[in-house]
Structure 1
Amino acid sequence: MTKKNHDADVAFIQALAELLRENDLTELQVKRDYGADDSLNVRVSRHTQQQVVTQVAAPPAPNSATPASPAAAPAPAASSEDPADDPGAVTSPMVGTVYMQAEPGADPFISVGASVAEGDTLLIVEAMKTMNHIPAPRAGTVKRIIVEDGAAVEFGTPLVILE
Structure 2
Amino acid sequence: MSASKNAKTAIDTKLIRELAEMLTDTDLNEIEVGLGEFHVRLARGAVAVAAPMQVQPAAAAPAPVAAASPAAAVPAEAPAGAGEPVPSPMVGTAYLSPAPGADVFVKVGDKIKKGDTILIVEAMKTMNQIASPRDGTVESINVVDGQPVEFGEALVMLS
Q: TM-score, normalised by structure 2?
A: 0.57
Give the number of the structure with larger relative contact order, counting CA–CA contacts within 8 Å between residues 6 or more apart. 2
Higher helix share: 1
Pick from 150, 153, 157: which aligns with 2:153?
157
Would you say 1:118 and 2:121 are equivalent positions? no
Change (3 A) 1:45 1:125: closer
Give the residue type in structure 1 aligned to 2:96: M
Percent identity for Structure 1 against Structure 2: 51
Give the residue type in structure 1 aligned to 2:89: P
Structure 1: runs of 5 or more not aligned: 35-39, 47-80
> Residues of 1 paired with 2:43 and 2:124: CA distance?
16
Change (3 A) 1:123 1:44: closer
SS where residue 3 of structure 2 aligns?
Answer: helix
Structure-2 residue corresponding to 1:83: 78
Pick from 121, 140, 143: which aligns with 2:139?
143
> Residues of 2 paired with 1:95 and 1:116: CA distance?
24
Change (3 A) 1:129 1:42: closer
Structure-1 residue corresponding to 2:3: 5
Pick from 23, 28, 32: which aligns with 1:29?
32
Task: State the Cα deviation string for residues 39-98 of structure 1 (Å, max 9, x = none).
Answer: x6544679xxxxxxxxxxxxxxxxxxxxxxxxxxxxxxxxxx932865510000000000
Q: How far did 1:29 drift?
A: 2.1
Change (3 A) 1:32 1:88: same
Structure-1 residue corresponding to 2:97: 101
How many equivalent residue pairs?
A: 109
Give the residue type in structure 2 aligned to 1:30: V
The answer to whether the 8 Å contact 1:101/1:124 transfers is: yes
> Residues of 1 paired with 2:42 and 2:126: CA distance?
21
SS where residue 83 of structure 1 aligns?
Answer: coil
Give the structure with higher Rg (CA): 1
Written as runs of structure 1 = structure 2, the 5 A alignment for 1:49-88 is 82-83=77-78, 87-88=83-84
